[in-house]
């Protein structure tokens, strides 16, 4: 196995490991291996695979997260934190109140989000790299085959999340978190028509990264592998 220059720099400068050191590596697709550093050069370290290891760090619940495009580093934080919390797919979407990106900026942001996900699975020791998808429109975000579909809307006064989480663990779940300013009433109605349950995270308005992290934490606690 040959590491790219970025991973080689991490191995040598951050972990401070050299030739002969034993490491654990994953391929991002569920393959985990014991390995030994065979060579260490700037253009790429080579590893000698010693054996396959059991999978680690993956939730039994596949979670797909859609998040409205937001300004600044909000989506960056969502990618970092929810990768650590075990989501399997993340996609940004464009809704009435979301940020608008040119194709060029969208491509740069997507590359950054994928890099952040790679960094996060190393720090939290996951086996699978979550799929980070390009931005899509809101209608495409509602096209969901998952067994349970939740849209978190701050105007939903009935709560509803607690009763949902008392149900048996579903096969998979899709979660939608709005951008700054949240969803419009029309978007919440469209989601309901598409089979989404409208729920809230309580009486306080949360920033996008906080809302995403809170939602995924509660779901993983109820149905996943948290605590």
Sign of CA dihedral 98, 99, 104, 109: negative
CB atoms within 10 A of CB 103: 9
pLDDT tens figures, 71-102: 889 999 999 999 999 999 999 999 999 998 99
Res 199: pLDDT: 96
Q: Which residues contact 199 (CB under 8 A, 6 or more apart)?
A: 150, 151, 152, 153, 156, 159, 160, 161, 164
We find that the CATH architecture of domain 5-53 is Beta Barrel (2.40)
Residue 7 has pLDDT above 90, yes or no: no
Sequence spans of domains, the chain: 5-53, 63-223
Res 130: pLDDT: 96
Res 220: pLDDT: 97
Residue 29 has pLDDT above 90, yes or no: no
Res 137: pLDDT: 95
Res 154: pLDDT: 86
Helices (H), the chain: 5-9, 74-84, 103-124, 138-141, 161-165, 185-193, 208-223
Selected residue with higher pLDDT from 115 and 29: 115
pLDDT band at 42 (very low <50, low <70, confident <90, very high): confident
Res 52: pLDDT: 85
Determine phi and psi for 60, rounding to 5 degrees: -75, -10
Res 144: pLDDT: 92
Res 203: pLDDT: 87
Res 117: pLDDT: 96
For domain 63-223, the question of CATH label 3.40.1280.10 is answered with: yes
- What secondary structure does DSSP assign to 50-113, as a single string? EEEE---S--SS-EEEEEE--STTHHHHHHHHHHHTT-SEEEEEE-TTS----HHHHHHHHHHH
Res 13: pLDDT: 83
- Cα radius of gyration (the chain): 19
**Longest CA span, the chain:** 60
Contact by Cβ (8 Å): 135, 100: no
pLDDT tens figures, 176-207: 999 999 999 999 999 999 999 999 998 888 99
Selected residue with higher pLDDT from 23 and 85: 85
pLDDT tens figures, 121-178: 988 888 899 999 999 999 999 999 999 999 999 887 777 899 999 999 999 999 999 9
């Amino acid at each position: 196995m040959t590491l790219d220059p970025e991973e080689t720099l991490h191995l040598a400068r951050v972990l401070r490991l050299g030739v002969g050191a034993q490491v654990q590596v994953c391929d991002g697709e569920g393959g985990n291996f014991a390995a030994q550093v065979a060579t260490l050069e700037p253009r790429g370290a080579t590893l000698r695979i010693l054996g396959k290891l059991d999978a680690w760090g993956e939730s039994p619940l596949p979670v797909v997260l859609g998040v409205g495009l937001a300004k600044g580093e909000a989506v960056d934080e969502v990618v970092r934190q929810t990768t650590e919390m075990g989501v399997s797919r993340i996609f940004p979407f464009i809704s009435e109140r979301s940020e608008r990106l040119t194709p060029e900026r969208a491509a740069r942001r997507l590359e950054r989000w994928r890099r952040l996900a790679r960094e996060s699975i190393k720090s939290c020791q996951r086996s699978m790299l979550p799929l980070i998808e390009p931005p899509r429109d809101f209608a495409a975000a509602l096209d969901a085959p998952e067994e349970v579909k939740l849209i978190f809307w701050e105007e939903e006064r009935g709560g509803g999340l607690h009763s949902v989480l008392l149900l048996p663990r579903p096969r998979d779940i899709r979660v939608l978190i709005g951008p700054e300013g949240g969803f419009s009433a029309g978007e919440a109605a469209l989601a309901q028509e598409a089979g989404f349950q409208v729920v809230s995270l309580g009486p306080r308005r949360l920033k996008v990264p906080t809302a995403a992290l809170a939602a995924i934490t509660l779901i993983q606690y109820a149905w996943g592998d948290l605590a």
